[in-house]
Every structure is written in C-alpha cells, then in structure tokens.
C-alpha cells in the first residue's frame, strides 16, 4: 500500500494544455485509511485468494499496515472548485474529480486524443461482496474539463479490498491499469476509452504483494510491473500487450529492507528503468539512511542490474513522508529522477533531481528543487509526456492536519 498518513485527500486534477490537449500526468500518493464507518480495518480482514495485509506486517512486511496508518478520514463539504482559482502560469487550475473517502489518485492522458483517465479507490462501498475500498475510474473526453460519472474498474466479487492504482495510456488509445486485488497485483486494459475493461489478470506470484508500479512502451506492446514482497523486489514483464506475464524476477538479494517502487519508464532503445527508495529495517519503520536506486534491464526484463543514485539522504521528521522517487525520460532517452529525503537524520526534507544521458548508468550531481520547513516533502508526480511538457510536483505537510501540493513547470 502507498505510504503517507494524512486525515483527508480530496482528489483534484491540475491540467496543463499543450498543443490543444491535456498531456500532463499527475500522481498523488496517499495512504490507506479505514473509513470511519468501517467496522474493522480492511487491511486486517481475511481475503479470498491471498494473504491478508496484516500477515505482511513482519520482517519484510508492509510498514504501512500498522494501526496508526488507518486512523479514518474527516468529512468535508462537497463543493465545486473554480478551475481558474490559484492557477499558475500555463496551468488551467483545479477541477474536483472525487470527494470524501477517495484516495491514491493516478491520472493519465491519451497522447493523441483529448481523453484523460483518473483512477482511485473509494471507501464506504455498500455492495455486500464488493471490495471496500473499491477501485474507481472517471473519464474525460475533453481534456479534463468535464468528467463522466465514476464507475468500478471491475466487479471483482469476493475481493476484500483494492489499493495502489497505476494507469497508463498508449499511442493506440488503449489504457492499461494495475492495482492490488487484496494481496495480488492484477492488470487490466481497455481498448474503448475505458467503457469496458478486460478481466483482471494476476501479474504477481503467490506471495503477499504490495506497491505495484508499471511502465508501458508507447505502442503498448511491452509492459513491466514491479512490486514489493517481504523485503524482496519483484519485476514481471509482458511482451504481448498484457495478454500474459512472465514469472516475476526477484532482483535483489538483501534482507530486512523495504523498497517503494515509485517510477518506471521504458527508453526509446528498449531499456527499462525503475526507480525506488530503499529503507532499512523491513517493516519496523527504522530511522536511518535511505538509498535511492534505479534498476535497469536491457533484455526485456530477463535480468536487472542496480545503480545507486544517492545514498546520502535519510529519514526525516516523520517516517511516512521521508522519501519517494519518480522518473521520466524524453524522446532522446535522457532521464530525470526526482526524489526526496532529509540531508541529515530527522531533518527537514529536500526535493532533488538528477539527470542521466546514458540510460541510467551514471547520474549528474543532485540539484535541489525545493525544501520543506516542517514535516516533510515527497514527489509523487511526474509529467505524462515529458518530451512535450513538464512539471515538478511534490506534496507537502506544513503542519499536522493539513496537506498541500506544490508544482513547478519546467521547460528542461
């Protein structure tokens, strides 16, 4: 499940218009939080066809499975947002897409049409055998100006809960999605602009699986999904558009660690590059150093090699907002990795970037993008088509009980 503990997230979309279409991708990582109406924490409930999240809370289990990360939500008044309010130069402002118990939004824009897709989970589902929270999709056919009603991405009867949405688009107009069906990572696709979706296909192995992240080639043929499982980082691949997936490859050999995959791209030459933040201590939220890594494959996912990007950042004021990563590439294959971390143990977070022009083998010196003077910062977002338009986006928690998003457009 995603990290970060906050009392409420109201999902909004910030749209940048480039060449007549909205081509910016927004990503916001939000925590699993049990609904205030729920009888029990859904992560502690037994699941059909997989282990419960609670069973993962041992060495290598999910650090976010502890009770304090499921503190409930705060109700707010549902009100429309003025799209022009607080709009930065080059941006259209905020449009509210979902309200109240909706979390973990991911947004993808079609590169060749005005379709935009928002995927998130919703707590408080009343259907007796439906997941709670349930994975929802909303679709805009006009660049994010207006949105069709939300609908479940699948019925998935008997699945206890769904978390960690990832959504991507392709040049053909097909839309790909991955998420957690209980403790199994599944994949689904739509070829009719989200009107219908294929039956979810299991992409992970039989072991407890969490925190999926996905990369897709522009034509949609090659798909890579990474996930964490009890201190082990696994990556699976498909080279037939998601019709089937390979046996997941365990890429690391260290133990008592926890990785948060949070960025994945495929370069024009076919090299796949995953970024993650690695914490020590497994699931026990150990304060200490955080290593920023990338994992590279030049053979279609058969094997992967690790490159350390930065091993000089630490956990910050709070563990939950200490570090995440994201990565983007342009049409020439130049990579930019963005990540957060504290320069000293327990200090205030900084947001950094580094660049690579050799497919992630080597990286430039880090550049500070921004800093936060209180509880922390993390960069959950990246541009959907960085070769066309770009931004740097991160989340800040300036004081307890508040949450905000900052962004900085860039032409780099």
Q: How far is the C-alpha of 337 from the C-alpha of 335, rounded, in Å?
A: 7
Maximum C-alpha span of the chain: 53
Structure confidence at residue 216 (pLDDT): 98
**Winning range, highest mean pLDDT, from 270-284, 300-314, 373-387:** 300-314
**116 has a pLDDT exceeding 70:** yes
- Which is more confident, 26 or 87? 87
Over residues 68-77, the pLDDT tens digits come to 343 333 333 4
Q: Between these two residues, 180 and 95, which has the higher pLDDT value?
A: 180
Q: Cβ(228)–Cβ(248) under 8 Å?
A: no
Q: Which domain holds residue 400?
A: 12-409
Per-residue pLDDT at 21 exceeds 80: no
In a domain, 63, yes or no: yes
Inform me whether the pLDDT recorded for 19 exceeds 90: no
3-state helix, strand, coil in the chain (%, to 5): 5, 40, 55
Q: Give pLDDT, residue 189.
A: 98
Report the pLDDT value the prediction gives residue 156, as an integer from 0 to 100: 95
How many whole angstroms separate alpha carbon 14 and alpha carbon 94?
5
Q: How confident is the model at residue 39 (pLDDT cuts 50, 70, 90)?
A: very low
Does some domain include residue 358? yes
> In this predicted model, what pLDDT tens digit does every residue of 285-303 receive, in sequence order?
889 999 999 999 999 999 9
Assess if residue 313 is contained within a domain.
yes
Q: Is residue 6 part of a domain?
A: no
Between 79 and 192, residue with greater pLDDT: 192
Query: At residue 238, does pLDDT exceed 90?
Result: yes
- Cβ-based neighbours of 277, under 8 Å, separated by 6 or more: 259, 260, 262, 290, 291, 292, 293, 322, 323, 324, 325, 339, 341
Distance of CA 43 to the CA centre of its chain: 19
Q: Note whether 42 and 31 are within 8 A (CB).
A: no
Per the CB < 8 A criterion, the answer to whether 399 and 393 are in contact is no
Q: Could you give the angle at the alpha carbon of 328 between the alpha carbons of 117 and 208, nearest 5°?
A: 70
Residue 7 lies in a domain: no
Task: Inform me whether the pLDDT recorded for 88 exceeds 50.
Answer: yes
How does DSSP assign 212-251, residue by residue? EEEEE-TTS--EEEEEEETTEEEEEEESSTTS--PPPEE-
**What is the rounded average pLDDT of the residues 173-192?**
97
How far is CA 378 from each of CA 4, 269, 348, 398, rounded to the nearest angstrom? 9, 30, 11, 12
- As a residue count, the chain comes to 412
Amino acid 30: pLDDT: 41
CA dist., res. 193 & res. 259, Å (int): 33
* Mean pLDDT, rounded, for 224-231: 96
Supply φ then ψ for residue 56, to 5 degrees.
-80, -10
Q: Which of 364, 369, 367, 366 is nearest to 381 (CA)?
A: 369
What is the pLDDT confidence band of residue 6, given thresholds at 50, 70 and 90?
very low
Give a yes or no: residue 3 inside a domain: no
**Predicted pLDDT of residue 311:** 96
Are residues 256 and 232 in contact, defined by beta-carbon separation less than 8 angstroms? no
Reference 378, options 11, 25, 16, 31; nearest CA is: 31
Domain with residue 108: its CATH number is 2.120.10.10
- In a domain? residue 293: yes
> How many domains does the chain fold into?
1
The mean pLDDT value of the chain amounts to 77
Mean local confidence (pLDDT), 58-72: 44
Residue 2 lies in a domain: no
Collapse the DSSP code of 352 into the 3-class scheme (helix H, G, I; strand E, B; otherwise coil) and give the result: strand
DSSP structure string for 135-172: EEEEEESSTTSS-PPPEES---TT---EEEEEEEE-TT
* 269 pLDDT higher than 60: yes
Can you give the pLDDT at residue 83?
54
């Amino acid at each position: 499940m995603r990290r970060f503990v906050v009392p409420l997230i109201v999902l909004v979309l910030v749209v940048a218009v480039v060449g007549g279409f909205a081509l910016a991708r927004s990503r916001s990582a939000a925590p699993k939080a049990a609904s205030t109406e729920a009888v029990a924490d859904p992560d502690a409930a037994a699941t059909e066809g997989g282990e419960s999240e609670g069973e993962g809370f041992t060495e290598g289990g999910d650090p976010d499975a502890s009770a304090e990360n499921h503190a409930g939500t705060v109700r707010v008044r549902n009100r429309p947002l003025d799209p022009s309010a607080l709009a930065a130069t080059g941006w259209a402002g905020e449009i509210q897409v979902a309200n109240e118990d909706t979390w973990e939004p991911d947004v993808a824009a079609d590169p060749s049409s005005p379709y935009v897709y928002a995927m998130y989970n919703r707590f408080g589902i009343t259907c007796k055998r439906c997941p709670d929270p349930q994975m929802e999709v909303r679709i805009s056919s006009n660049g994010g100006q207006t949105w069709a009603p939300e609908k479940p991405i699948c019925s998935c009867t008997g699945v206890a809960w769904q978390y960690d949405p990832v959504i991507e688009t392709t040049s053909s107009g097909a839309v790909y999605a991955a998420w957690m069906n209980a403790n199994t990572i599944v994949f689904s696709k739509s070829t009719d602009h989200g009107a219908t979706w294929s039956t979810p296909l299991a992409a992970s192995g039989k072991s407890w699986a969490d925190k999926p992240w996905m990369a897709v080639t522009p034509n949609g043929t090659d798909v890579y999904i990474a996930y964490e499982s009890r201190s082990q980082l696994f990556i699976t691949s498909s080279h037939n558009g998601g019709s089937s997936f390979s046996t997941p490859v365990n890429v690391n050999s260290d133990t008592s660690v926890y990785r948060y995959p949070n960025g994945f791209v495929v370069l024009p030459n076919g090299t796949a590059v995953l970024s993650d933040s690695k914490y020590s201590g497994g699931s026990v939220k150990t304060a200490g150093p955080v290593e920023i890594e990338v994992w590279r494959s030049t053979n279609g996912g058969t094997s992967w090699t690790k490159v350390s990007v930065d091993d000089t950042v630490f956990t910050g004021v709070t563990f939950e907002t200490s570090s995440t990563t994201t990565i983007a590439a342009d049409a020439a294959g130049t990579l930019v990795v963005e990540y957060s971390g504290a320069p000293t143990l327990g200090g205030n977070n900084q947001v950094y970037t580094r660049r690579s022009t050799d497919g992630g083998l080597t990286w430039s010196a880090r550049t500070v993008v921004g800093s936060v003077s209180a509880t922390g910062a993390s960069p959950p977002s990246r541009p959907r088509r960085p070769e066309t338009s770009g931004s740097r986006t991160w989340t800040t928690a300036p004081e307890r009980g508040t949450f905000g998003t900052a962004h900085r457009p860039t032409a780099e």
